[in-house]
Amino acid sequence: MTKIRVYNTLSKSKEPFEPVRAGKVGIYLCGPTVYKPSHIGHMVGPVIFDAIKRYLAYNGFEVTWVVNITDVDDKLIHESHQRGVAMPELAREMTADYMRNLEAMGIDTVDTFPRATDNIDEIIRFTSQLIAKGFAYESEGDVYFDVSKDPDYGKLSHRTVDAMQGEGGGTAERKRSSGDFALWKSAKPGEPAWPSPWGPGRPGWHIECSVMSQRLLGETFDIHGGGLDLVFPHHENEIAQSECLHGRPMAKYWLHNGLMQASDEQGKVGGRTTRPAAGDREAQEIGKISKSRGASPFSEMLAEFEPETIRFFLLSTHYRRPIDFSEERIREVGAGMETFYRYFKRYQRITGGDFYQLAFSARREEGAIPAGGDPLTAAVAEHRDKFLEDMDDDFNTGGAIGVLFELVRRLNKYADDEKLEDKKQQAPEKMAAIQQGTRTLRELGATLGLFRKPPRQQAPAGDTALSEKLIKLLIEVRAEARKAKNFAMADHIRKSLAEIGVILEDRPGGTEWTIQS
């Protein structure tokens, strides 16, 4: 029995987390339609569910996480015509871009990325079965799901069958009712198509998720995730397809993350922004997004910010809330994170050990801190409990990050109070306490995918190695200037370095430097 509780969109309440099969968790997250390079909005779901998977694994679950790639779709067809590139080639290019971004963000926890076009046979079979059971009908080469046959339709979005399904022009007259949605679309001349019992065509968007989740995770799996904008119609339709076919719940818990919005414009820049849910809302949103840097290719964002800073930024808001995008805010987060990086260097000065090499507990029960001992250890244990409480409460990563800050401040205070940078003050029990506290910081950070390796700007490689040598040289020149009592020169060096973002700090053991992003 875990202490984890999750907010389920289906019941509109927090429920205890109990997987369908003891000890195992299956997660399905709706992935991108690969027709354009990813922007930061495409990283929101993956970062959140990466943390959720890590936390569940830390709690002893064996987790399988599936993210689908929509590589056939109206948008892909349109974009491939615009650019004069074949659809499969466009999809390959944009999938590679998405994968590079996930890798840069340290999201290496996804087990499978099924592609819609690799599952056409299964999609046709699934659709045929729905027709055979009377839940779907063929109409002029299209196949539609008959919403009137599903008494549960609307149970996720808590709405009644009303509006358009966003299929767009020309299909209305082929449907029995405007609420029906396409499982299969007949091909127009020049469009990519696969043979089917209903003639050449391609799958609708919703059906791929029903098919691939069932194939990889089973009829009923544990967590289905996605952006809030997917609740209706996409997830509602997935439920209709799957549950009408097999008569069992599709997923036990439906988790929806808030979308990213431009903080000034209130325009969305994340999630499936381009999925029309109704009318021309899409066009309005794209107009707003295009004015925001948040819509620029994520590779540009990565050139400017540390991946870890972006991860920190995305996790510092509770996943169900909207994220206000602003570069200013990301910069602030980056500056705040220097607290951790400075502490890691301090830890190295005190103990001689590398924070990133510290062994830590990968399992919750193994990391438990025995009562008694040094007062610091007791405080660390309290912080750890608080962190776990936050994460148990519907994965409150924002609260958990707040606890990490409290913990690092506590460790710094201990090092100050006990003067641990002075070798003569380093009593074994104090050293054991600070090591224990730092290991706990590493253990908890790891559940959010944080502090896995030093940030890029601190890792010596290529140009960075040269910069590092030059900075060290300037620090030496400054030390020489001070020795010669040329304080004006020493000050000039310090200030000039600060102007280009290199911050010097004079310490008992010498001058330390950090680069501020």
By CB under 5 A, the count of residues binding Zn ion is: 2
How far apart are the C-alpha atoms of 396 and 52, rounded to whole Å?
A: 10
Nearer Cβ to Zn ion (46/445): 46
**Smallest distance, Zn ion to C-beta of residue 123, A:** 13
Pick between residue 98 and residue 355 the one whose CB is nearest to Zn ion. 98
Taking the least distance from each CB to Zn ion, the nearer of 30 and 444 is 30
Report the alpha-carbon distance of residue 172 to residue 408 in Å, rounded: 60
Quick one: 30 or 51, whose CB is closer to Zn ion? 30
26/367 with CB nearer Zn ion: 26
| Tokens matching residue 336 | 């705040």
Nearer residue to Zn ion within complex by CB, 204 or 445: 204
Q: How far is the CB of 283 from Zn ion (least distance, A)?
A: 23
**Helix pair angle (487-499, 463-483), 10° resolution:** 160
Strand order across the 24-29 sheet: 62-67, 24-29, 221-227, 251-257
Query: How do beta strands 24-29 and 13-16 pair?
Result: unpaired
**Least distance from C-beta 237 to Zn ion, angstroms?**
9
Neighbours of 370 (CB within 10 A): 8
Site string for Zn ion, 156-195 (x = CB under 5 A): ----------------------------------------
Determine phi and psi for 31, rounding to 5 degrees.
-95, -165
User: In the complex, what is the shortest distance from the CB of residue 30 to Zn ion, in angstroms, rounded to a whole number?
Assistant: 3
Q: How far is the CB of 37 from Zn ion (least distance, A)?
A: 21
Q: Which of 110, 12, 95 is nearest to 52 (CA)?
A: 110
- Residue 325 CB-half CA count within 13 A: 28
142: enclosing H helix or E strand: strand 142-145
Binding to Zn ion (CB under 5 A) within 6-35 occurs at 30
Least Å from the CB of residue 112 to Zn ion: 14
Q: How far is the CB of 209 from Zn ion (least distance, A)?
A: 3
Q: Least distance from C-beta 6 to Zn ion, angstroms?
A: 19
Binding residues among 363-382 for Zn ion as defined by CB under 5 A: none
CA angle 424/430/434 to nearest 5° reads: 115
Interacting residues with Zn ion between 200 and 229 (CB under 5 A):
209
Q: Closer to Zn ion at the Cβ: 258 or 437?
A: 258
Given the complex with Zn ion, which of 244 and 444 has the nearer CB atom?
244
Q: Min. distance of Cβ 238 from Zn ion in angstroms?
A: 6
- CA–CA separation, 150 vs 154, rounded Å? 9
CA 63: distance to chain centroid? 16
In sign, the C-alpha dihedral spanning 373, 375, 380, 386 is positive
Q: By C-beta, is 6 or 30 nearer to Zn ion?
A: 30
Q: What share of the chain is helix, strand, coil (3-state, %, to 5)?
A: 50, 15, 35
Spatial contact of 110 and 66, defined as CB atoms under 8 Å apart:
yes
Site string for Zn ion, 109-148 (x = CB under 5 A): ----------------------------------------
> Which residue's CB is nearer to Zn ion, number 30 or number 102?
30
Min separation Cβ 227 and Zn ion, Å: 10
In terms of C-beta density within 10 A (0-12 exposed, 13-18 middle, 19 or more buried), how is residue 214 classed?
A: buried
Q: Which of residues 30-59 bind Zn ion (CB under 5 A)?
A: 30
Of all residues in this chain, which one has the CB nearest to Zn ion in the complex? Answer: 209
Residue 108 near residue 305 (C-beta atoms within 8 A): no
Is position 239 an interface residue for Zn ion (rule: CB under 5 A)? no
Chain positions contacting Zn ion, by CB under 5 A? 30, 209
